[in-house]
Structure 1
Amino acid sequence: MYNLRHFFYLDDNVQLPQQMVNWRISALRIILVTMLSICVVILLHNLHALNDTKNTQNLQVALSLTTILAALLCLSQKFYQLCAHALLLVIIAAAISINLFTPALQVAQIGSIFTYVTPIIALLLIGQKTASCYAILNLIPLYFIFQDLSTSVLNAQNEVLNNANYYVHCLVFFFFNICIPLAVWRTSLAANRLHKQFQKHTKLLEKQKNLYRKFFQKAYSAIILVNEEQQIVEANQKAKQLLNLYHHPLPCPISHVLNAALDHTTKLYKVNNAIVQIDAQEHHEKSLSAWYLSDASEQFYLQQQFKALGAQHHQTKYFNTHVNLPNTTWLTEQIDTAIQGGEPFAIAIADNQNLQMLEHGITAEQRKLLYKHINKLFEHYPQAGSSVAYLGSGRIGFIAQYHESLLTVAKHWQNNLDFWVKLGELQYHAKYAISLAAYPQHGYSAERLIKNAVQACELRQSNSLCSIFDFSIKKQRLARHEMALLLEKALEQDELEIYLQGKHFSCSRLIGFEALARWNCKLLGFVPAGEFIAIAEEFGLIEMLTQHIIRKLCQTLSHYPELPIPVAVNVSAQDLEQDDFAAQIKAHLSDHRLSPSAIELELTEYSIANDRAHTLMQLKSLSQYGVKIAIDDFGTGYSNIARLIEYPITRLKFDRSLLDRIDSDRNQHALLSGMVKICAEMGIAALAEGVETPIQRDALASLGMQEFQGYLYSKPQPIEQVLSEFVNEIQSGLRTY
């Protein structure tokens, strides 16, 4: 029994290949088996009647039809469509055969009626279109019946196929009463089962729908259902609260609720006072999707705070707010990026030559204006690979592209960074010396390139404004360090000597001396003053050097109490920064029983620009004590004479740079003339330094200048020699004071 149910596919739960349905194959096999059974019966009957009639045609027809039906039955599962169409063709072929070989018209018409069943079978087994075609095709036999037309090829007296009349009646009877009802029964059985399953699934879907609604409304997440017209058709309780949908009847356009996005990447929207985020979008069907929402207000504002902190951290890490320029860290990363590019480039360090004025003579706002102007300059120079960065101590650094010699590049940038700029009411001369280190010949990392460029900057010759890193610079650095050690040892062992150079009236009368330090090292030989003083400033020995010179000068002057003119000694800005500087000067004079008028302190303009209140207090203390104060190298900075009235200044020494073209430059002549007159009005003595020719002296004297110092009058000589000769001339009456 199970095999029959399985053979006829009476169970609809059996899985078939090619997505075929069980009931169609079942109906096909029922029809085939029924027709095959009729044909087998006819075949057996013909075999039994074969001895009486000796006619094999009926047997051949029955055998052929039986064979065809058996073959279709075997192939009905694997080639279902082919077998279904073949069955319909067999029925039509059988009907045509009945019409052709049945002499009785009434029987032939019954054969024509046999084709009327093809639309029903086509509808059951194949589909509507095929059934429609066969219904139209059945108009042909209907026409033959209405017209009583006969298509038989046999005459009425031929008795060969007379038995076919019974076969036709039996075939039609069994086909319409057994075959077709069984096929329809199988189809209705499948329909009933399908209906029951549909009802069952409907109840299940209803339960699932109720359960879905329950979970949808009570879901922890806010969920809205959006159709293809971008309308909200349903929303759970949390979504209504989040989006304030109580005032928007559903369905409503989502654009009325979610306006412009704050962030398209994370899908953030501002709804009333909340920040709503779309976490996910699920497409459940073609016209409906579920949007999962969440309140991202706290997260959003935290992100904003983190972004602000990140921007602040980025500014702190890469930006110097004091000058509004990127810093060394930023430049290092720019260099790393350039190294990855693989193209040669140079790291340039620009060292400000007016550093003391930059740090002490201008305000913070004026300093920002200067660097703003420099930054704008770089925007007009495509040769720079990046913007300028501030490295501290007045230095700036940048990446310089080059296609020629490094020295040419250094000179080019030195010219670009030599300019005058107005900072508020102040005219400032920005003058930079350029030092270069190139990639890859001078280093393969940003740190090494910057370090080498800085070394080239620090070891640059004082009379040069351009320098290129050389690996021998390291040796020079070590040599400078060794020189600093030797200088410190020389100060401890009193190896430095003091030379004096006279100051004269225009009539050649001496009015004072200037003390100059000289160092004849046992290992290095004679070291120029400009070189070892720079070493002292670089390695923090300048205060020790100044105190050593003043102490030694006071000790020597104590042997010449009758000296009527003062001896000037140079004092640096670093000396004036010491809180006890004035006290130390007074102590030296007191220890050697010298009058305060025995010495004169010569300061630079930068010295009085450094901490004005502190410096002014110290200078007034010394002036009241009796020490004279002079300004040395006046004209190299940016002070004006009117400002000096605040300080107890008794003498201005004009730098030789203001005098070198006095006899040829009318502007310089006019400027110096005005300054001399102002000094005379303020009661300040004006002294010209570096006078070497009578022409210079006469030109300066014509302006009213009365005091001179230079090789025209005297050269520096050892202090003992100068003082002993000077005192002897006084005692012998050759000099009178």
Structure 2
Amino acid sequence: MTKKDSPHRAEIDYLRERVAYLEAANHWHHYAMDVLASMTSIFGDHRHNRDTQTILKCAHDCVIRVLTLEDAGYYIVDDDSNFNLAYRQPGCTDEELEAAVECLIDEGKFAWAINQNHPVCIHAGGRYPADTHLVMHVVSTRTRIRGMFVGRIRGTALRAAESGLKVLSIILFNTAYALESAALYALREQQHQTLRKITQRQSKELLHQHSHDTLTGLPNRVLFSDRLSQLMQRRGVPDGHIAVILMDLDHFKRVNDSLGHRAGDILIRRLAGEMRNTFLSAEVTRRYHLDVANVTLSRLGGDEFGIILDNVASLDLVARFVQQLIESISREHEVMDHQVFITCSAGISIHPFDGNDADTLIKNADAAMYEAKQRGRNLYQFYTKDLNSQTYRHLVLENQLVKALARDEFDIHYQPQVSLRTGKVEALEALVRWHHPEKGLLSPAHFIPIAEDTGIIEGLGLWVLKRVCEDMHRLREADIEPPRMAINLSARQFRQAKLVERYAAILKEHDISPHRIELELTESTIMQDIHVAVDMFRQLHQLGFRLAVDDFGTGYSSLNNLKHFPIHTLKIDRSFVSDTPHDRDDTAIVTAIVAMAKGLGLEVVAEGVENEEQLAFLKQLDCEFIQGYYFSKPLPFSELCEYLKAFSYS
């Protein structure tokens, strides 16, 4: 070949390459059109291919004809906007792809890819070879995102996939519409089925829902009251009685607060099943000379259950029945892998003695149940006629108590704690008082139990701490260095969420150091839940509060428990001090408590000291602090300043 022929030869080679390229492109074009023509299998218009799996399988069959993928997954978005893997390329079972997608979601790349509306390729990373990429493409119609396609592809295949990626967009666009269509078909079919079922069962379901509890399946309050009324109208045995028993769980709110309402529902449902199996069994009912038909078990709402016993031969049998009921419930129950100790209280009213209509019998049984709770819980109480008046008085007091804080009807009185070593008032115990608009000044014994039951105590406790902080500043303004302040914490306050944070915030707001405040908890409160108490004590201790155990000797704690608490002070209950030094037993108890406290390096405060003999006895024991009427009654702030200025003891 001559040099003259070289340009001509190059041109021929170029044309041949161009023709080959065009032929290949034409071949690819026909192939792609064939793939797209086969997409009719994707559409969810036929009954046999309306489910998600079928649609995604057909879509993937098209995709792998235009892309050489090592792995692929189709993620479908649910109603909560979560993307869930709905279909995986056959033969791919490892978790690498799913792990990679989780990383993309965490990094925000998944959300970025959704908004691109075209294929995006990124390095796969992880344990994949360096030339491995992930292809992502949103699966969406023009108005709604249905999901996301994620495919894994190697570099060589990716370079040859430019045209395939364009076809991928068309396939996934049609897939989105297929999913949309299938969803509409499914929704329509579901609606048709629902309407048919409602039509068929409407009367029966409405009647059952009206008369039965949805959680337990037991008769509800409506049916309970109706059955009671019917039984009273057709009493069969002249000498038989109808007993109405109302029972609810003690402190059930703790379960909901600590474990959640789902745990509470599980416990209620389980207890209902156990009571149904036990007290509606022939064996148990025969024991109380009853038939199964004589017993109606109902859930009245919340944690309250009702039982009707018809034709009961004697009140003794009723008492034995209720005692077994309480014993069967009052134990540990496992709920969601937690051990929960539950007790219950019950009230009983008897027809015809306690009422001649259903509402009266239920109301009186409820009053009796409330009385059982007032007497300490985990027991039963028969209705007596004076209970209604007590319940009414309690309700009135509760309503007044709710408004008392807003009306600023509370006050703080302070009782000094005197050091026998220094002769000074080293601390003041803050004792809340209620200036009742009708009853005058009320001590805590009249309203703290009600405040505890209703939850008012939580707000009242925060108010007390704020007032104490304010009074400490007022003492300084009166040129009196405020002693340490002792504040009582009730059982409910102790379990209050964010107690530590709220107390810390109040002290910071008033610029009071935590070590100037001593928090007192009764021994019985601490013993209710040792682990919770230890944790709370440590939090308060780390914050800087001083901690005291009040009414020591009455809560049945052991030294093994006591040593775990970061406490500073033991307060000897006044019941032990009042008869010293004449009562041998009380004298021995007080002596032992003082000796034990000294051995543990704790300060001791003796409460209820009222005379010289008690003072001399305690001084002989080297008891550090004395509190009681011997030195002073609890004083309002107006009298406290004068008392502190004039006080002298040596």
- Band of TM-score, shorter chain: 0.3 to 0.5
TM-score, normalized by length of structure 2? 0.47
Q: Which has the higher contact order (CA 8 A, sep 6+)?
A: 2
TM (normalized to structure 1)?
0.42
Q: Which has the larger radius of gyration?
A: 1
